Amino acid sequence: MKKNKLTILFVALALLVNASCKEEKHVPPTWGEDKEEQNKEPNAAVVKSGWKNVEDSYGELPNYIDVYKSPESLVDKKAVAYIAIADMDKAKWDVLGDIVFDAQANGYGSKTVNTLTQFYSKNKMPIIINGGLFYYGNSFFYSQNLVYKNNTMLASNQNYFSKDWVKIWYPTIGAFGQQADNSFKVTWTYYNNNDKVNYSYVNPADNNETKAPLAIPNATFPSTGTVYSPKTAIGGIIVLLKDGIVRNTTAQEMLDVSATSNQPRTAIGVTKDNKLVLFVCEGRNVTAGVAGYTTADVANIMKNLGCVDALNLDGGGSSGMLVNGKETIKPSGGTQRAVLTAVGLQ
């Protein structure tokens, strides 16, 4: 009887062990899936087109921001270019710079400018690029481009253009902004001094130096104008892409950025899946054979990167990008130029 009880006990234990092993065998190992998901390239199409993820060279970044270096050529020209791509469902961006209206200078801007390294020291944002155009006069740095922060306009785009002050044009100029619903769009804007309204238009006024100046843009010209009211925005010169179509509105926006010559460039754009793309490229043969790009080139590069809307920012000696405070492209002037505004990502 004792032997039978022992036999039954051993059989029961064997069945229990066997059942436990079978149950354990069917539990999927989740760590492998997590590791695979962690290592998954978030911008596979960009890498497939020849861009190389270079985060290892610049230190750890948030897992929703990635930095890439260009292949050796883009649009059939030798290239040294970098892009930062951020998932804007998680990332935040801002326009950096102390922009105010100065009554004595009678304009928007600041008495001081900063290099990108100085902007980084003050803000510690992992990605920083240069921002809009500016010029110096009367001991003041005037902003030529729009700046919005916290739903407030700190500066408007320049609203006139003239070479001799006999003929004066009133160009609508590009802006890139985050709307109330958190979507990103480019538009053309004009600040009407009489209405005291910054208008936004779906198309630019058809200005051109070869034509007579057009009327001052308002609520109904060059088309129905809406009050521009983004949460955050930066102005530039030349809308490169709108709704997935290359626009490159050089003639209409009028301010000179040497659009048809090869230059260092900076641009900002957004993809259809709400990723922000910041682009910079070298030029002026700082690296032998790298002349830079025209704005038409940059429009096509941004489109190839998946952008649907994109804006050209200040370029030339102003162009630059820092990643965790480290330079990417070589400045065309040998050292970083101090600039009025910058764009930061974190």
Taking Cα atoms as reference points, which of 314, 313, 293 lies closest to residue 78? 293
Question: Quick one: which of 316, 189, 179 has its CA closest to 258?
Answer: 316
pLDDT value at residue 39: 64
d(CA 287, CA 245): 31
The CA distance from 48 to 295, in Å, is 24
Cβ-based neighbour number of residue 165 at 10 Å: 7
CA distance 51 to 45: 9
Q: Which tokens hold the place of 183?
A: 């979507």
pLDDT in tens, the chain (346 residues): 434 443 433 334 343 334 343 433 333 333 233 434 456 899 999 999 999 999 999 999 999 999 999 999 999 999 999 999 999 999 999 999 999 999 999 999 999 999 999 999 999 999 999 999 999 999 999 999 999 999 999 999 999 999 999 999 999 999 999 999 999 999 999 999 999 999 999 999 999 999 999 999 999 999 999 999 999 999 999 999 999 999 999 999 999 999 999 999 999 999 999 999 999 999 999 999 999 999 999 999 999 999 999 999 999 999 999 999 999 999 999 999 999 999 999 9
pLDDT at 40: 83
Classify residue 227 as exposed, middle or buried by CB count within 10 Å of its CB (0-12, 13-18, 19+): exposed
Alpha-carbon distance 127 to 79, whole Å? 21
Provide the 3-class DSSP secondary structure of residue 267.
strand
**Looking at residue 317, what DSSP letter applies?**
G
Tokens 């051109």, located at residue: 208
Which residue bears the tokens 């902003």?
143
In sequence order, what DSSP letters do the residues of 293-314 get, joined into one string?
B-HHHHHHHHHHTTEEEEEE--
Phi, psi of 26 (to 5 degrees): -95, 0
Peptide bond preceding 222 in cis form (omega within 30 of 0): yes
b/e 12-36 (16+ beta carbons within 10 angstroms → b): eeeeeeeeeeeeeeeeeeeeeeeee
Number of residues that make up the chain: 346
